[in-house]
Structure 1
Amino acid sequence: MSTAHVPAARTAGAPQAPAPELPPDRAVLPAVIGTAVQRVDAVEKVTGRAAYAADVRLPRMLHGAVVRSPHAHARIVSVDTSLAERLPGVHAVVTGADTARIKWGAFRPDLYPLALEKVRYVGDEIAAVAAVDVETARRAAELVRVEYEVLPAVLSLDEALAEGAPLVHDDAAGNLAHEFSFDRGGADAWFDRSDVIVEGVWQSTRQWHSSIETIGCTAEWSQDRVTLWVNTQTPFLARQRYATALGMPLRAVRVVQTEVGGGFGGKSGDDNTSVICAILARKAGRPVQLVNTREEEFLASRPRIPMRYHVRLGFTSDGLVTAKDIDMIADNGAYTGKAQAVLGAATVRHDALFNYRAVRARSRLVYTNLVPTGAFRGFGNPSADWAVGQAWDLAATRLGIEPPDLFLLNAVEAGSVSPHNHRIGSCELKQCIRRAAKAIGWYEKRAAPTPNRGLAMGVSVHVSGRRSFGDYDGSSAMVRLAEDGRAVVIVGEGEIGTGARTTLAQIAAAELGLPVADITVTRPDTDLTTHALGALASRVTYVAGNAVKRAAEHACEQLLAAAARQLDRPASELWVEDGVVHAPPAAGDDTPVQVPVGVVVRAELYRPDGQPIVGMGAFDNPSEFPDQSRFGNESGAYNFVAEAAEVEVDPATGAVTVLELAAAVDCGTVLNPPLAQGQVEGAIAQGLGMAITERFAWADGAPTRPSFTDYKLPTAGVMPKLHVEFADSYEPTGPYGAKGVGEIALDPVPSIVASAVADAVGVRVHELPITAEKIYWGIHDPDGRAREEGESR
């Protein structure tokens, strides 16, 4: 076997160059690791050959449309589908009566595939139509007549929690979907010993994923079994939930992942689109395709959860943090999805950043008659950092300590253990803080301040996978060597645009000694690939990467054993490089032995009792399943970031411009620098959208114009000058020292923009987004009543 981090294919006999730039406890990394390898899907995407959800074409395929509620809360008196059914070209109309009448959901089953008796938000699905084309389906949907009895609705957290408030769900007293609390370390005693205490209330808002591709599905039945082609991030997990919603055994549902045009948590399989598509296809007796319009995406997908935090922090006079206390309320919307898990992460994860002596929290997830919420890149961290990060900035001001210095004084290091038993392995948070401060020119700008310009810094921590779905956060893979010299990596994790298939191909290539071009990574298919949890929690590189690495090691062992038999040489003398098995010259012969991998594989197969070369590998995240109060080491590897921003504020208008933003990321070994750089830059862009541009005007429980006309994504003109750096870091449990990078850089952005505005003009915004109007009134009428813009639902 290979020594750590060196491919099994090159463990003996192969010349290996020294690498003095690496610490002595690290072995030499293969050349393909840390290299800007071209994405394996690049040609398909730039030529338009990549097949997304709307590109699926099946014989006799119909198209679907959904009838949605115009009311936030109403009783369904009757549904008349007769006009729609008579429209030429219509093949099926379904309502709740055509469903299994089973509630489903990832953690709290509370959602019917089509509404029964009640609708609970504007956009709730009531009926659906399948027709020969999209236009006919939409016309038919407009012909479905629904009679409603409008009911009182709760359209905010305060309304939902008010005494005697209407219930969104009759089985959720007080409109509470979930709550938990803890006090670890005795917070009151530590606050009593604190010299400085800061506190405040901050509220985040809904943010939509706004992927370039909307949610879509194509369904086809074969007798009593349905195949779903879906742009989901989590094919196997989605399959389990779809089977429940359809009232069918798991074996009756097959999910095939199409190309995914961006996910960001929004394609985790928590919405009804695929289930409705399957119900339509069953009734029509033909394949059906259902793809959301952009308006539907805004009305009925699962945006980021708005959260209101009351934060209290204690410190000694010399800057050591003592205690943290938060009281957090999250707006679940009408249905739960993954919101319960998001609530937990938003409550505890940031406690793994600093050496808190005590932490206390009370967290509540509250039903409202608004669009359901769910997973979004960062999974609760951005909302937590928005509030807690600003409290730390306030503390730095009160203590008279520069934020980078305050962070360095309190930051965790390798070996630290959080109050929730998060056990920190590799950790270069302090290195990140120093690098971000240097990149932004922190101390030079402090020495020569510019009027109306402000600086701020924030930090965050994220997981590399998390045990959320049963006591398992693993992955498995198979690597099959083909007689043409290629390798096929069979793995069910999938690709959502991040470059995961490329990274997994690099790992396999490094272990097998093959060029990346000779590695094929399969797409997920619940019938054909190994079981996988999918693209969530920044887990694919770390968890699936380890599984692929082990499978490739296993395949390479078999390859070398086969070559040893064929060449009559000890396997210890052989190695693989560039797709060729090498052996030193035989005694008395100066000619080196070189046999293509395909020749060895074919010879091993085409012989008496021949065998294919197939490697198996599995890896389970070395973590714990947290208890109900979120105590437990939820991940085997934690990634960190420090970010600093400089903004300029126009005091005449309140307009804010983010001039520079520096991000220093600890993600272990960077396997593919351009891919990692792209993940950081994209995350920063989404963070800026959350901070300053993305909002709706609301009326009667819904956005007034659910389109990009009102909802402004950050464009190139909004982006600041970026400084992106990666810490010199190595995670011993990761593949070649790598850990997650996909989400972490989004987390601190809203907080540091707000704190930089406060540094520039003395106005601290407490409710997202950070608009010119809020800043203007903070400057010109700081003692006036709060002026809200109505976009904070």
Structure 2
Amino acid sequence: MSTAELPIAPLGLGRAALPRIVGSPVERIDAVEKVTGRAVYAADSRLPRMLHGAVVRSPHACARIISIDTSRAERLPGVHTVVTGADTARVKWGAFRPDLYPLAIGRVRYVGDEVAAVAARDPETARRAAELIHVEYEVLPAVLSLDEALAEGAPLVHDDAPGNVAHEFGFDRGGVEAWFDRSDVVVEGTWQSERQWHGSIETIGCTAEWTRDRVSLWVNTQTPFLARQRYATALGLPLRAVRVVQTEVGGGFGGKSGDDNTSVICALLARRAGRPVQLVNTREEEFLASRPRIPMRYTVRLGFTEDGLVTAKDIEVVADNGAYTGKAQAVLGAATVRHDALFNYRAVRAHSRLIYTNLEPTGAFRGFGNPSADWAVGQAWDLAAARLGIDVPDLFLLNAVESGSVSPHNHKITSCELKQCIRRAAQAIGWQAKRAERTPHRGLAMGVSVHVSGRRSFGDYDGSSAIVRLTEDGRATVIVGEGEIGTGARTTLAQIAAAELGIPVADVSVPRPDTDLTTHALGALASRVTYVAGNAVQRAAQQACERLLDAAARQLDRPAAQLWVEDGTVHGPAGPDGEGPVSAPVGAVVRAELYRPGGEPIVGLGSFDNPSEFPDGSRYGNESGAYNFVAEAAEVEVDPATGAVRVLELAAVADCGTVLNPPLAEGQVEGAIAQGLGMALTERFHWQEGAPVRPNFSDYKLPTAGVMPKLHIGFADSYEPTGPFGAKGVGEIALDPVPSIIASAVADAVGVRVHELPITAEKIYWGMRNGEPGAAVPVTSAPAVPAVQDPSPPAGADRAGQEGDPR
């Protein structure tokens, strides 16, 4: 059956009756503050007598610190204090592997490593003082690529990591070799991804103030409570001595997860100065010392029967951790196992290693390992479709998981409309018509991905809690610690509460997280806020509504079961003795319940723990309670004279359960696609001696409006039974397949398959001239992967049509 003949699931399957607020384009509750400039971001925080900080960073990739002379900086007028590693608790910290000092002690390990810091009356004076600090170094041999780090006898980045291996794991589930022996078609190849920076409009920043032995930090973090724990460790303080307040966050994308030293250094300066201090990264510092996406060398082998059923998958992943670990260990885990929840693999095997290098530390980025996995595995599936002579959407449909599927890692799929996504993406891009009438130098490709709605990563808990308080003026306050990073999460949570309470969204407020005042939360990560926090808020609102109706029943003399709330008013039916219908404003009911003998406030408490399992050391375990899916198709055009790529159209259909607020969901999908295009086509630096040559946006090209193709955005009709009103996550998944489908579309257009990101015109140009530098690497063997430094002449492209791609 052709793709066009496959039926599309009808609307309304499995969907319960929903409140009218759900699925409506509700205005963001923070819209007015943001468009009028009243929103307070990290750099907008102001405290009396506040000083400003600046950091001294290592110019060397690896060196021993001989001495630090701060005397000239301390004499500069306007300077209040200088701190070095000697002023810290000398405690290493990190999310999974403690390997990072707040300020370097004895040794620096990458260009950008923090060595000292200054607090002064203004940012300019602080930066001038930082330039006056003299650090004497003994430069040591550095490992500036995966190959160098893995070479026999290579210098160790950390003495307690033999072979420069920060983390390693593997598994064989189902007997891979036996399944490969039974396979009729086997494809394989190696693909290399690059560092990608978050490029948030706002850089990382913090303001710190001490009150006696306790520090308050106003931080643009995605994870206030998790960050608080790490900062306390780094500062050598008990947890009770640290308070974290989330400011507005001008974009996070994983880069503001609390794995960098900025807030810790800010706290050190404030304690030493005895005054509040603000420390905000410059754009150059953001490029030098944040935590960009992890580059991965990803080798994949796939087996299939002659009729297209997938048999086995075997991968080897080597990831460039950089100098310190942060969340890279968890990212590697996701890149290794999550993709296996897409298709019905009979057996899977993996060997994954996280390798220390003397390069900038890496960490969480939107997609959390999925884009690197999709970059390789997605192209391998495209190769397999060509070898089998099966159209890509049909091959996907033949093997895709469905509701009730269980992956080899025990990922239990509750709701799944992946097949619907595939059909609708193919339809939106005009797949059948474009395949029937091909245009020269134009190519078509499709990819799919799976993501989590929360994941058990930090102890055996992935839950949330919330308090919903009804006020005597008829409004509701939702107290929850998850926070907002620009995605509209506070609006979504307000929408859920309003739908349960029967009041307008405009009457619901969601204060920003404060670890002293809000309920405990893990924060904005793993696409979890709508699903996990949304469930907690829904339960809290349900309890508050039950208590409201109980109070109204006493006041209106009607059974609670007969009452309902609509547009902020409690309504009841006519009475048995001929009395007419009754009603009362919510605020009046709340006030009457409070102002009486023994009166009580109307408050609801709700909690929810993701129905998942904590994976074991080999990543076996149902890591999430709900999985979201996407299918994307793209059409590209390649200039045969230059190799330049233009993405003409891109269709994305996501399965995120019930779409609670369509404009917010569409914005997440569109933004993710834009970041995927940047990863695919434009985002990279030239490197020299372990550092970007020019760390600024003039050299690091983010995709702009002119790069964006015509978009077709859609959402599968889907309902997640464990989600709030049937919803699950959507924030990350649309990024995942983009680089892979662009590469496969280029291969379809001109027969050149790129193995190393980004997909540049230069690589394609040489690839089209078979036999020239950078071309003709067979797909069935591992391409020579260069060091992190920019390859010249270009590498990483081969001619499709040779050994593994019959185009």
Q: Pick the TM interval, shorter chain.
A: over 0.9
Structure-1 residue corresponding to 2:357: 368
Confirm whether residue 340 of structure 1 aligns to residue 299 of structure 2. no
Per-residue CA deviations over 1:388-410 (Å, capped at 9, x if unaligned) read 00000000010011100000000
Rounded Cα–Cα distance in structure 1 between residues aligned with 2:208 and 2:541: 34
Structure-2 residue corresponding to 1:17: none
Contact 1:302 1:371 in 2 (8 A): yes
One-letter identity of the residue aligned with 1:317: E
Offset of 1:98 from its aligned partner? 0.4
Per-residue CA deviations over 1:595-642 (Å, capped at 9, x if unaligned) read 000111001111111101110000000000000000000000000000
Rounded Cα–Cα distance in structure 2 between residues aligned with 1:27 and 1:196: 44
Correspondence for 1:470 among 454, 459, 472 = 459
Confirm whether residue 426 of structure 1 aligns to residue 431 of structure 2. no
One-letter identity of the residue aligned with 1:238: A
Per-residue CA deviations over 1:493-546 (Å, capped at 9, x if unaligned) read 000000000000010000000000000011100000000000000000000000
Structure-2 residue corresponding to 1:328: 317
Q: 1:22 to 1:401 in 2, by over 3 A?
A: closer
Runs of 4+ in 1 over 2 A off after TM superposition: 20-23, 585-592, 781-793
Residue 752 of structure 2 aligns to a residue whose secondary structure is coil
Offset of 1:585 from its aligned partner? 2.4
Rounded Cα–Cα distance in structure 1 between residues aligned with 2:774 and 2:243: 56
One-letter identity of the residue aligned with 2:540: A
Rounded Cα–Cα distance in structure 2 between residues aligned with 1:706 and 1:792: 18
Rounded Cα–Cα distance in structure 2 between residues aligned with 1:561 and 1:487: 17
TM-score by length of 2: 0.95
Rounded Cα–Cα distance in structure 2 between residues aligned with 1:785 and 1:455: 24
Confirm whether residue 300 of structure 1 aligns to residue 289 of structure 2. yes
Contact 2:632 2:651 in 1 (8 A): yes
Structure-2 residue corresponding to 1:22: 12
Rounded Cα–Cα distance in structure 2 between residues aligned with 1:782 and 1:669: 51
Residue 209 of structure 2 aligns to a residue whose secondary structure is strand
Confirm whether residue 123 of structure 1 aligns to residue 112 of structure 2. yes
Structure-2 residue corresponding to 1:177: 166
Correspondence for 1:74 among 39, 63, 72 = 63
Correspondence for 1:378 among 351, 364, 367 = 367
Structure-2 residue corresponding to 1:11: none
Q: 1:792 to 1:221 in 2, by over 3 A?
A: farther
Contact 1:114 1:125 in 2 (8 A): yes
Residue 502 of structure 1 aligns to a residue whose secondary structure is helix
Offset of 1:26 from its aligned partner? 4.0
One-letter identity of the residue aligned with 2:12: L
Confirm whether residue 498 of structure 1 aligns to residue 487 of structure 2. yes
Offset of 1:588 from its aligned partner? 5.3
Correspondence for 2:131 among 135, 142, 155 = 142
Confirm whether residue 759 of structure 1 aligns to residue 748 of structure 2. yes
Rounded Cα–Cα distance in structure 2 between residues aligned with 1:614 and 1:629: 43
Confirm whether residue 552 of structure 1 aligns to residue 541 of structure 2. yes
Correspondence for 1:274 among 257, 263, 284 = 263
Correspondence for 1:734 among 691, 706, 723 = 723
Q: 1:671 to 1:140 in 2, by over 3 A?
A: same
Structure-1 residue corresponding to 2:33: 44
Per-residue CA deviations over 1:73-122 (Å, capped at 9, x if unaligned) read 00000000000001110001000000000000000000000000000000
Rounded Cα–Cα distance in structure 1 between residues aligned with 2:771 and 2:439: 23
Structure-2 residue corresponding to 1:9: none
Offset of 1:432 from its aligned partner? 0.4
Rounded Cα–Cα distance in structure 2 between residues aligned with 1:380 and 1:584: 55
Contact 1:217 1:228 in 2 (8 A): yes
Structure-2 residue corresponding to 1:511: 500
Rounded Cα–Cα distance in structure 1 between residues aligned with 2:466 and 2:391: 48
Rounded Cα–Cα distance in structure 1 between residues aligned with 2:431 and 2:264: 52
Gaps of 5+ in 1: 1-19
Contact 2:453 2:628 in 1 (8 A): yes
Offset of 1:567 from its aligned partner? 1.5
Contact 1:660 1:721 in 2 (8 A): yes
One-letter identity of the residue aligned with 1:768: L
Correspondence for 1:602 among 574, 582, 591 = 591
Offset of 1:566 from its aligned partner? 1.2
Rounded Cα–Cα distance in structure 2 between residues aligned with 1:748 and 1:552: 37
Per-residue CA deviations over 1:693-727 (Å, capped at 9, x if unaligned) read 10101000000000001000000010000000000
Rounded Cα–Cα distance in structure 2 between residues aligned with 1:65 and 1:592: 67
Structure-2 residue corresponding to 1:196: 185
Confirm whether residue 718 of structure 1 aligns to residue 697 of structure 2. no
Correspondence for 2:253 among 243, 247, 264 = 264
Confirm whether residue 485 of structure 1 aligns to residue 474 of structure 2. yes
Structure-1 residue corresponding to 2:239: 250
Rounded Cα–Cα distance in structure 1 between residues aligned with 2:262 and 2:770: 47
Gaps of 5+ in 2: 1-9, 776-783, 793-807
Offset of 1:131 from its aligned partner? 0.2
Rounded Cα–Cα distance in structure 1 between residues aligned with 2:217 and 2:737: 37
One-letter identity of the residue aligned with 2:102: P
Rounded Cα–Cα distance in structure 2 between residues aligned with 1:651 and 1:115: 51
Rounded Cα–Cα distance in structure 1 between residues aligned with 2:624 and 2:646: 37
Per-residue CA deviations over 1:186-205 (Å, capped at 9, x if unaligned) read 00000000000000010000
Offset of 1:590 from its aligned partner? 6.5
Contact 2:449 2:737 in 1 (8 A): yes
Per-residue CA deviations over 1:629-676 (Å, capped at 9, x if unaligned) read 000000000000000000000010000000000001000000000000
One-letter identity of the residue aligned with 1:719: M
Confirm whether residue 435 of structure 1 aligns to residue 438 of structure 2. no
Residue 764 of structure 1 aligns to a residue whose secondary structure is strand
Rounded Cα–Cα distance in structure 2 between residues aligned with 1:21 and 1:138: 59
Rounded Cα–Cα distance in structure 2 between residues aligned with 1:484 and 1:272: 44
Aligned pairs, number:
773
One-letter identity of the residue aligned with 1:164: G
Offset of 1:584 from its aligned partner? 1.4
Offset of 1:783 from its aligned partner? 5.2
Rounded Cα–Cα distance in structure 1 between residues aligned with 2:53 and 2:773: 51
Correspondence for 2:559 among 570, 579, 583 = 570
Correspondence for 2:574 among 570, 585, 605 = 585
Offset of 1:481 from its aligned partner? 0.4
Structure-2 residue corresponding to 1:541: 530
Confirm whether residue 87 of structure 1 aligns to residue 76 of structure 2. yes
Structure-1 residue corresponding to 2:195: 206
One-letter identity of the residue aligned with 1:442: W
Structure-2 residue corresponding to 1:744: 733
Residue 753 of structure 2 aligns to a residue whose secondary structure is coil
Q: 1:553 to 1:230 in 2, by over 3 A?
A: same
Rounded Cα–Cα distance in structure 2 between residues aligned with 1:401 and 1:177: 41
